[in-house]
Amino acid sequence: MTTSLEERDRQVIWHPYTQHKDLLPPIPVVQGKDSLLFDDKGNAYIDAISSWWVNIHGHGNSYIAQKMYDQARQLEHVIFTGFTHEPAVSLAERLLPLLPGSFSRVFYSDNGSTAVEVAIKMAIQYWGNQSDGAVGVDKAPGARTKILAFRHSYHGDTFGAMSISERSVFTAPFRDYLFEVVFMDTPTPENIQQLRTDIRRQGQEIACFIYEPLLQAAGGMRIYSAALLDELLEEAAQQNILCIADEVLTGFGRTGKLFAGEYLRWKADIICLSKGLTGGTMALGVTAATEKIFRTFLSDDKRKTLFHGHSFTANPIACSVSLASLDLLLEEDCLQRIGRLSRRHQAFLDILGGFPIVRNARALGTILAFEINTGRDEYINAIGPEITRAALQAGIYLRPLGNTVYVMPPYCVTEKEMDQVYDFLVHCIRKYS
Ligand SMILES: Cc1ncc(COP(=O)(O)O)c(C=O)c1O
């Protein structure tokens, strides 16, 4: 008798963010096409969260698949020090002019967390490299070492990325090993002057300020004001603080513009990208920096080198797939679909407004979120898994963050599929009302 995939999985797999004591049998997914995922019994699920926010053009895209295949036959991988290749250079050449800011250099890594790690390392070493000693080797006198980040931020799961993220249930077991960061609230009309004063007061000690522009995603899909963020960025620029935009989630059309930085007047010095970069098909991270930053690493003193790299840095298949994803993203039709989806979310906000149990309904581009007012606002609120189970029965994949329900489908989602998602949300809200 053959053993089921669920049973084999149970024997050998350790899933992310999963308490295996309560593990429900995971669903064997055998195929993906456009917005749909299919299980081994032929059930279809609308991937309403784009498989952890990565998928932008849908699953099984034949254009991307062809480019992947062609590249795999040509050159699947090569060490990226001492060698270069066309896909890596072409991708950098195409990305740089699209990015919101004056970036001139692309550093490749593997995922969102590593894109952030690289950004933090660049920023810290930038200050050390200004003097004769590199920070960490001979701490330069006056080198800036503090990092400024927002409360409720999430920048990834590696130790550096955890350190600059909100301390939470995710990071609690490691809290003694995380480095100190200056945390501040996201800006509001009430606190903006105080935040500006705080930045000014500590300005000379702060190496960099990292932020998820406009949307704090894993922290609860919190949307905040572009105009107020601009004020903070202006203050940071006046203090020569390096600004790092973590656009790992907000990049590639998610917020209705190509990058969230396009809503801002003040531009970042470093930008982190991943997720939608490859259309959600392969792991790749990008950290782009301005020429000003890059130049401080040019030296006869070898200690001023950025000593960072990964085995799969600039993987040619991942770079080719990113180029293919950009081709699709920049098509008029795709931009229109992003616009349509954004307008539908806005219209649905009016419907959500009619339910007293719904709190803080909000939308930004292709992302819609709201809280269901049951129990505490926290990640381990039991309502999340309940909604996931009910949604699966309705043929939809949703994964609320505690009682924060959100929708973020691939841009190819059809009108009919969105009707199904919105209908389910209304049904679900009625159930809890
Ligand atoms: C804003 C942001 N930064 C960084 C990360 C980490 O990316 P990854 O999961 O690819 O390491 C995430 C992941 O959700 C994110 O949303």
User: Domain segments of the chain: what residues?
Assistant: 5-60+332-432, 75-329
Residue 408 has pLDDT above 90, yes or no: yes
274 pocket-lining for ligand 1 (C-beta < 6 Å)? yes
Q: Which of 166, 246, 274 to mutate to test the pocket of ligand 1 (most atoms within 8 A of CB)?
A: 274
What is the domain class of 5-60+332-432 according to CATH? alpha beta
Q: Around Cβ 333, how many Cβ atoms within 10 Å?
A: 9
* Confidence bin at 131 (pLDDT 50/70/90): confident
- Please measure the distance between the N-terminal and C-terminal CA atoms of the chain and give it in whole angstroms: 47
**Residues 362, 369: contact at Cβ < 8 Å?**
yes
* Confidence bin at 419 (pLDDT 50/70/90): very high
Catalytic residue from among 47, 110, 246, 269: 246
Q: Which amino acid is at 65?
A: A
Residue whose CA is closest, atom 16 of ligand 1? 249
331-343 pLDDT, tens digit per residue, is: 999 999 999 999 9
The CA-based dihedral angle spanning residues 29, 34, 36, 38, taken in that order and rounded to the nearest 10 degrees = -30
3-state SS of 357-405? Answer: CEEEEEEECCEEEEEECCCCCCCCCCHHHHHHHHHHHCCEECCCECCEE
Residue 139 has pLDDT above 70, yes or no: no
Catalytic residue from among 45, 108, 126, 154: 154
Q: Which amino acid is at 198?
A: D
Q: Which two tokens stand for residue 1?
A: 């008798």
156 pocket-lining for ligand 1 (C-beta < 6 Å)? yes
244 pocket-lining for ligand 1 (C-beta < 6 Å)? no
Assign a CATH topology to domain 75-329.
Aspartate Aminotransferase; domain 2 (3.40.640)
287 pocket-lining for ligand 1 (C-beta < 6 Å)? no
Which atom of ligand 1 is nearest the CA belonging to 275? 10
Q: Say what the pLDDT of residue 130 is.
A: 85
Question: How much of the chain exceeds pLDDT 90, in percent?
Answer: 90
